[in-house]
């Protein structure tokens, strides 16, 4: 994965810097002076700027909580997700996913970890993916509906945010690794490690924050299946109803892990509010637009913050 990931990450950095270089060549000196003298006031309610190209009970509550000061920030979350659908097969699959997640931010650097407990009832082969998102590998591989349950694979992540007081645009580069920690007999893991690199662009201007998120996944092959590397993309916007309450809507796409399954297209909607000073409640749901996605899913998560300082 090393050389491929480095190439993708290098391309991401080039893509994020090229527009700025082109703009610098095209503007006049007066325009440059105007840009230098411009600052953006983000002291009012600002929506979350951390987009996510995965939908899980650990990634969603983190995406809905904005960590944007220079101090040390940390939070823990416990979430539950239920999903069902045929995923392009002849029979219905149901997935229960409970995950605990933790995140620590120091300045612009953020590290995170999540561990799921999953219960999957299906005739198909479904593994734990990055951020505990299910990876459907092959349809109807069993004559009967099987139940697989237990702890899934651990996901570790790190990201760095580039933000300037002279521009509203925020860019976040990230890397994630799914480590094989599930027991061999659980049926929940491919038995291999998976990796992903990603970039998020967001523009927090007042109460509205449009965003686009892109990630590229490197999936480890198994003895039975050759899994496809591929992209996942999301785009949408969040809106700040108040200082403590946000809503978010987006579109998600993910390339299927094998040619036996269709790509996933779905719509996402979520809302998050602080219920007491250190506790946040987040609810979310998805609706599938393709045979490769769950027909519907819904989740709920509670987050607790630590070392929190005043927002900027």
- Which tokens hold the place of 124? 């198909």
pLDDT given for residue 102 in this prediction: 93
The CATH number that applies at residue 126 is 2.40.160.40
Cα of first residue to Cα of last residue in the chain, in angstroms, is 38
Is there a domain that residue 142 lies in? yes
Separation in Å, CA 231 to CA 62, 63, 100, 212, 306: 21, 19, 25, 13, 34
When pLDDT is cut at 50, 70 and 90, the band that residue 3 belongs to is very low
Which one, of 137, 241, 125, 130, lies nearest residue 187 by Cα? 125
**Per-residue pLDDT tens over the stretch 170-211:** 899 999 999 999 887 888 888 899 999 999 998 888 888 899
How does the average pLDDT of the chain come out, rounded?
Answer: 81
Number of folded domains in the chain? 1
Helices (H) and strands (E) counted in the chain, each on its own, are: 3, 15
User: In the predicted model, what is the mean pLDDT of residues 272-294?
Assistant: 91
For residues 236, 215, 179 and 272, what is the CA-based torsion angle, rounded to 10 degrees? -10
Could you list the residue range(s) of the whole structural domain that residue 97 is in? 2-306
pLDDT given for residue 32 in this prediction: 47
Dihedral of alpha carbons 197, 51, 135, 260, sign = negative
**Per-residue pLDDT tens over the stretch 142-155:** 888 999 999 999 99
């Amino acid at each position: 994965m090393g050389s491929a990931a480095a190439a993708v990450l290098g391309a991401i950095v080039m893509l994020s810097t090229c527009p700025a270089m082109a703009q610098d060549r095209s503007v006049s000196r007066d325009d440059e002076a105007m840009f230098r003298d411009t600052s953006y006031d983000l002291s009012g309610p600002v929506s979350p700027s951390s987009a996510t190209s995965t939908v899980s009970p650990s990634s969603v509550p983190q995406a809905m909580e904005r960590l944007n000061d220079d101090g040390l920030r940390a939070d823990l979350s416990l979430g539950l997700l239920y999903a069902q659908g045929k995923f392009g097969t002849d029979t219905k699959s149901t997935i229960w996913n409970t995950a605990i997640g933790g995140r620590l931010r120091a300045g612009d650097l953020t590290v995170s970890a999540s561990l799921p407990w999953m219960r999957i009832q299906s005739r198909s082969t479904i593994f734990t993916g990055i951020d505990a998102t299910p990876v459907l590998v092959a349809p109807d591989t069993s004559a009967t509906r099987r139940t697989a349950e237990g702890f899934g694979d651990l996901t570790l992540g790190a990201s760095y945010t580039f933000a300037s007081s002279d521009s509203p645009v925020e860019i976040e580069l990230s890397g994630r690794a799914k480590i094989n920690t599930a027991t061999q007999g659980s049926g929940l893991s491919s038995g291999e490690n998976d990796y992903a690199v990603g970039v998020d662009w967001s523009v927090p201007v007042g109460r509205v924050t449009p965003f686009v998120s892109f990630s590229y996944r490197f999936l480890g092959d198994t003895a039975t299946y050759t899994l496809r590397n591929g992209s996942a993309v999301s785009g949408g916007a969040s809106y700040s109803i108040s200082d403590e309450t946000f809503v978010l809507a987006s579109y998600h796409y993910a390339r299927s892990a094998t040619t036996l399954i269709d790509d996933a297209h779905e719509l996402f909607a979520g809302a998050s509010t602080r219920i007491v000073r250190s506790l946040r409640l987040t609810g979310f749901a998805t609706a599938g637009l393709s045979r490769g996605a769950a027909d519907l899913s819904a989740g709920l998560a509670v987050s607790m913050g630590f070392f929190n300082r005043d927002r900027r």
